[in-house]
């Protein structure tokens, strides 16, 4: 019944990150089928090279790989070549870096896609409809307190993501 441990982890990572990564790619390539193809192909490559087992920060690494994959797609005259995984740093020794303007939208969609369902629902309502907490509470038939909690959870998750991507340094500037 049991699979080899790394296979189990790979499958887990796949389910956890597939949709968020596709959302990231979608914002870069604008075509959902293409976004899926690129992410799918990236996972095949990662699987064969067992690249995920060698990095310290899989999420950061996956996001960078997807970004490279999308950029590479345009650079190599829209062909689906393999990218050189070993050239992508996993960020072990990274200093805190700044977020590039063009990264914001893909990252934001990645973030929203990764939110737990209830939190996502509240976040998207607030974001896209401009409703107040009171209006959201009425629409979803929940308490204002719950809206507050869910929005807080979303924001906290956003901060965790920024920190994990090294956009927030742990040591404050002096």
Partner 1 sequence: MEDIYPILAKHFLNEASSDEEKVILEYKNSNPKEYTLLLALWNKGEVKVHDFDSYRAWEAFNSKKSERHTKVIPLFGSIRNMAAAVAFLIMGTFAIWYLADTIGQPETVVVQNTEGTSLEKRLSDGSVVWMNQGSSISYPKEFGYTRNIILRGEAFFEVVKDSLHPFVVTADFSTITVLGTSFNIHTDTQGTAISVKTGKVEVASLSRKETVVLLHDQSALATKDSLTTKNDVDPNYLSWKTGDFEFSDTPFAQVVTQLNTYYRDSLTLDPQKNYDCTLTAKFDRMPLRQVVEIIEATCGVSMKKANDNSYIIQ
Tell me how far CA of residue 64 lies from CA of 7, 59, 84, 103, 165, in angstroms.
22, 9, 12, 11, 9
Between 75 and 80, CB nearer to partner 1: 80
146 binds partner 1 (CB under 8 A): no
Q: Does 94 bind partner 1 (CB under 8 A)?
A: no
Which residues, 19 to 48, sit near partner 1 by CB under 8 A? 19, 22-23, 26, 32, 35-36, 40, 43-44, 47-48
173 lies in the site for partner 1, by CB under 8 A = yes
The closest alpha carbon to 173, from 95, 70, 86, belongs to 95
What is the smallest separation between the CB atom of 69 and partner 1, expressed in angstroms?
Answer: 15
15 binds partner 1 (CB under 8 A): yes
Query: In angstroms, how far is the first alpha carbon of the chain from the final one?
Result: 55
Where does this chain touch partner 1 (CB under 8 A) — which range of 64-72, 74-82, 166-174? 166-174
Do the beta carbons of residue 106 and residue 100 sit within 8 Å? no
Q: Assess 58 for contact with partner 1 (CB under 8 A).
A: yes
How far is residue 123's CA from residue 148's CA, in Å, rounded to a whole number? 10
Kindly state whether residue 5 participates in binding partner 1, applying the rule CB under 8 A: yes
Residue 52 binding partner 1, by CB under 8 A: yes
3 state DSSP class of 7: helix
- Residue owning tokens 């995920």: 52
Tokens of 30: 């604008």
Q: Is 152 in the site for partner 1 (CB under 8 A)?
A: yes
């Amino acid at each position: 019944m049991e699979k080899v441990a790394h296979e189990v982890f790979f499958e887990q990572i796949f389910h956890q990150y597939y949709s968020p990564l596709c959302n990231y790619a979608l914002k870069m390539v604008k075509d959902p089928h293409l976004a899926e193809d690129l992410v799918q192909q990236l996972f095949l490559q990662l699987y064969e090279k067992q690249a995920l087992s060698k990095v310290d920060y899989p999420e950061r690494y996956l996001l960078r790989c997807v970004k490279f994959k999308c950029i590479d797609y345009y650079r190599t005259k829209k062909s689906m070549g393999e990218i050189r995984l070993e050239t992508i740093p996993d960020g072990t020794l990274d200093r805190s870096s700044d977020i590039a303007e063009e990264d914001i939208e893909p990252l934001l969609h990645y973030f929203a896609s990764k939110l737990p369902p209830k939190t996502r629902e509240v976040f998207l309502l607030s974001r896209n409809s401009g409703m107040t907490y009171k209006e959201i509470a009425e629409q979803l038939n929940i308490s204002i307190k719950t809206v507050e909690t869910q929005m807080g959870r979303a924001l906290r998750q956003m901060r965790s993501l920024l920190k994990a991507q090294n956009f927030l340094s742990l040591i404050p500037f002096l």
